[in-house]
A and B are shown apart, each in its own frame.
Chain A
């Protein structure tokens, strides 16, 4: 067998991939290889993802990702539902950041209808989107430690996620599936005392980011297991559609909150897009850690400047979306999430294309895993950070 060739048009410094050459030698000597099947139920795959890897000794020479065990057919289901009903469905795509899933779809409907949510609603949406981001990332910051054999960070990660989930629950009534967005605004205003409590939680998050820095990032074992492993070259990553923190960890200074069409309240905020030049597993961890901090700071800023006013615009009681097409993409915790909505003037969409971040992020895995050691398969996959519901739709 041969190693797959790199797609044309991508020149990568070959010195970065010396281990690939090693694997090639083994292939040429025709040392025996074996097939290792990971999953579909495997603790390291965070859901029902099946990975078939061909090994030569301890190295991966080829791999295939088998997905679809959780395919729920959301694109078909949306064609049988009205716009307000669809937010319930798309909540379940990326279940760690459900609120962030709702935002682009609601934006798409609002753009087609020419409705604009009032400023207070936009601010609260931004707060809740950033809270979902923190909830998603602190879990990653903990879990990633678990993948290299450190169990302590996982407890910290879950503890921190509770702070955020409690805040989301207090505001929306739903811990995991808020279903809080409405076309034209949000369901209700924030409860009394929520702002003070959330400020306190954000301080705890900022504190625990420092802990993660000391406990995980500074840890020599963690660095050995993640540095210069699973390098995504920037151009190849972009052509694969890898987005979000994964691409920023490859040095691409691209964040849809700043570089996309203006949405929510990000233009009013003072914040920074973090990048890392290395593109390895460590860089992906580091970027997400900084982004967690940045999100906590953003939430504090938003809460300081929360405008007064209503949280719902005037919308007709029966939502009928005028004929048209719109593409809305946003920077979700896992990367670029977008909806291409085609409307024919009915109460439901004619076609919704759901572009999920994890699908494209994981599609680079077969390329990325070539030449890595078996234990690193787990860390590389974990560092890509995907949610199965976001892959399988």
Chain B
């Protein structure tokens, strides 16, 4: 385990393909539009200045030849609030780090929108784009005018994260009922099923009659951390 982690971290700088692609992206968009770039397992990730988000899409389609839109989505980098251990008894959920860290190419704050485009003409091509979203007024330019397929993806993003897309023809609920309140994929939106009901896995370590209830939680934790 440890040596595997070491090899993953000791990976050398970006590959030749990523460097060449980054040069093309920089040439098409201008260096001022690119905040940062990085590589995620061999794929180039470019962080775009928020005000150049739509220009980035146009450049991708018209200059870089990325004719195919894979998806548009968002991410909330806020650390996941751990469920109240004594309340829910949920010892099965993975424990995420408590500090707010950002992934490849960094982020200025909590929310980011990211998208993936590819070319159907060039094998093994593709580019991941990210942009920072202001937490107080989360909005960014829509891609629908460039990639019509962004329509549903942006609607999903809007309902799941509360990020509005300027220029989107009709931001309506996609998956959720129209009267739904809240943004479920935000990290501070609780998964109610886990809050109101003890994790069913706990049945396995139910104490024997007459056993102290303290032994129950300890056994549960010991099993989860094993």
Chain B residues positioned under 8 Å from A252 (CB to CB): 120
Name the residue on A nearest B75 (C-beta).
A351
The answer to whether residues A111 and B41 also contact, given A340-B114, A342-B103 and a CB cut-off of 8 A, is yes
Stretch at the interface among A194-202, A233-241, A300-308: A233-241
Chain B residues positioned under 8 Å from A242 (CB to CB): 149
Complex CA–CA separation, A353 to B153 (angstroms):
11
Q: A76-B184, A344-B97 are in contact. List 6 more A-B contacts (CB 8 A).
A: A79-B80, A114-B4, A241-B149, A322-B4, A327-B116, A360-B149
A-B contact pairs, 22 of them (CB 8 A): A67-B174, A68-B173, A68-B177, A75-B185, A76-B184, A80-B93, A236-B148, A239-B67, A241-B70, A261-B124, A322-B4, A322-B5, A324-B104, A325-B41, A327-B40, A338-B116, A346-B94, A350-B80, A355-B71, A360-B69, A360-B71, A367-B148
The answer to whether residues A80 and B194 also contact, given A316-B1, A322-B5 and a CB cut-off of 8 A, is yes
Complex CA–CA separation, A9 to B191 (angstroms):
42
User: In whole Å, how far is A193's beta carbon from the nearest beta carbon of chain B?
Assistant: 37
Q: Give the number of chain B interface residues (Cβ < 8 Å).
A: 60
Name the residue on B nearest A361 (C-beta).
B149
Chain B residues positioned under 8 Å from A243 (CB to CB): 68
Chain B residues positioned under 8 Å from A7 (CB to CB): 144-145, 148
Name the residue on A nearest B121 (C-beta).
A254
Complex CA–CA separation, A367 to B152 (angstroms):
13
The answer to whether residues A259 and B124 also contact, given A113-B4, A325-B40 and a CB cut-off of 8 A, is yes
User: Is the CB–CB distance between B191 and A76 below 8 Å?
Assistant: yes
User: In whole Å, how far is B91's beta carbon from the nearest beta carbon of chain A?
Assistant: 12
Q: Give the number of chain A interface residues (Cβ < 8 Å).
A: 65
User: Is the CB–CB distance between A393 and B175 below 8 Å?
Assistant: yes
Q: Which residues in A have some Cβ–Cβ distance to B below 8 Å?
A: 7-9, 67-68, 71, 73, 75-77, 79-82, 111-115, 235-236, 238-243, 247, 252, 254, 258-261, 316, 318, 320, 322-327, 329, 336, 338, 340, 342, 344-351, 353, 355, 359-360, 363-364, 367, 392-393
User: Is the CB–CB distance between B104 and A325 below 8 Å?
Assistant: yes
Complex CA–CA separation, A115 to B41 (angstroms):
13
Complex CA–CA separation, A236 to B71 (angstroms):
15
User: Is the CB–CB distance between A320 and B1 below 8 Å?
Assistant: yes
User: In whole Å, how far is B100's beta carbon from the nearest beta carbon of chain A?
Assistant: 10
Confirm or deny: B7 has a beta carbon within 8 angstroms of a beta carbon on chain A: yes
Confirm or deny: B46 has a beta carbon within 8 angstroms of a beta carbon on chain A: no
